[in-house]
Amino acid sequence: MKPKILITGATGNTGLPLVQKLSSEGVVIRAMVHSPDKKALLERYKGVEVIVADYIDRPSLERALVGIEKVYLVSPPSPDQVGVQTNFVNIARLNGVKHIVKLSALGTAADSPVGLLRMHAEIEAHIRRSGMAFTFLRPHFFMENLLGNVATVLKDGVIYSPMGESAMSMVSVVDIAAVTAQILTGTGHEGKVYTITGPEAVTYARIAQVLGKAINSPVAFVPISFEAAKQGMLQMKMPEWIVDDLIRLMKTWVEGSGSQVSPVVETITGKKPTSIAQFFRLHRSMFLKTA
């Protein structure tokens, strides 16, 4: 059987769990990667045809799209994200793709103060105008980002964040993949926009408490300023444009947009989304000094 589903960003934060999910269910897919080095990461999975293609290389995209009917569209954040994804959409339409499932983000809107969210809105509008069926996924902050706290927990038993007492309904990428797999293999999702969150909104103080219980060692939450958070991200060599946008995004969450809870995961998959406690039990070894 030839694949009719293309997964872009197939080794990324959401792409890889999606490839794993579809492969485990026996779905034949084509997985797109941008470099030959990443091809080996996917060749272990059954039913996965791996192809190397680049968003700015039309011939390679046309090869990737041969025989494809549905596409999961995601690309790394970039100042030219609108151009990258709208170009892909145009080529997909000309090559017979019928349905685009695009990963956007919670809060996507044309008038958002966050540049990345405005870009997602512009791309969504272009897809609507294309005439192809679409489904837009708008997940919250990934739970897996909490693994970035491993170093400070191991060193000082501390989690730092500028979120203060604000609560967030963060979601695991495993749950995003489960939702996306249902959409790509099922029907009735055309024209839908899905907000994807975890099962509850939790503060960072609560996150620290739950993590401490999972590893049987106290973990403290230490609030920091947005400026300190910015400097920390810059020290990690993150581009300043995206650091500034992430700060603007976090400020919208502090203002209340980050606490909404959506039933989408359970409605579409029939299973409750991963809780913070479940997440830390699964990843507890990473936070242990003996690991």
Q: For 115-174, how does the pLDDT look when each residue is reduced to its tens digit (9 = 90+)?
A: 999 999 999 999 999 999 999 999 999 999 999 999 999 999 999 999 999 999 999 999
Q: Is residue 43 part of a domain?
A: yes
Q: What is d(CA 102, CA 79) in angstroms, rounded to the nearest whole number?
A: 18
Q: Is a pLDDT exceeding 90 seen at residue 246? A: yes
Task: Please state, for a pLDDT cut of 70, what percent of the chain lies above it.
Answer: 99
Q: For 83-125, how does the pLDDT look when each residue is reduced to its tens digit (9 = 90+)?
A: 999 999 999 999 999 999 999 999 999 999 999 999 999 999 9
Q: For 193-202, how does the pLDDT look when each residue is reduced to its tens digit (9 = 90+)?
A: 999 999 999 9
- What H or E segment, with its residue span, contains residue 55? none
Total of domains in the chain: 2
Count of Cβ atoms closer than 10 Å to residue 224 Cβ: 14
Residue corresponding to tokens 């976090």? 250
Q: Which CATH number do you get for residue 229?
A: 3.90.25.10
Q: Is a pLDDT exceeding 80 seen at residue 291? A: no
Q: For 4-62, how does the pLDDT look when each residue is reduced to its tens digit (9 = 90+)?
A: 999 999 999 999 999 999 999 999 999 999 988 888 889 899 999 999 999 989 999 99
Looking at the structure, tell me whether residues 79 and 37 fall in a common domain: yes
Write down the pLDDT at residue 43: 87
Q: Is residue 122 part of a domain?
A: yes
> How many degrees, rounded to 5, is the angle at CA 205 between CA 199 and CA 211?
70
Task: Please state, for a pLDDT cut of 90, what percent of the chain lies above it.
Answer: 95
Give residue 11's domain range.
5-139
Instruction: Give phi and psi for 7, each to the nearest 5.
Output: -105, 115
Looking at the structure, tell me whether residues 59 and 105 fall in a common domain: yes
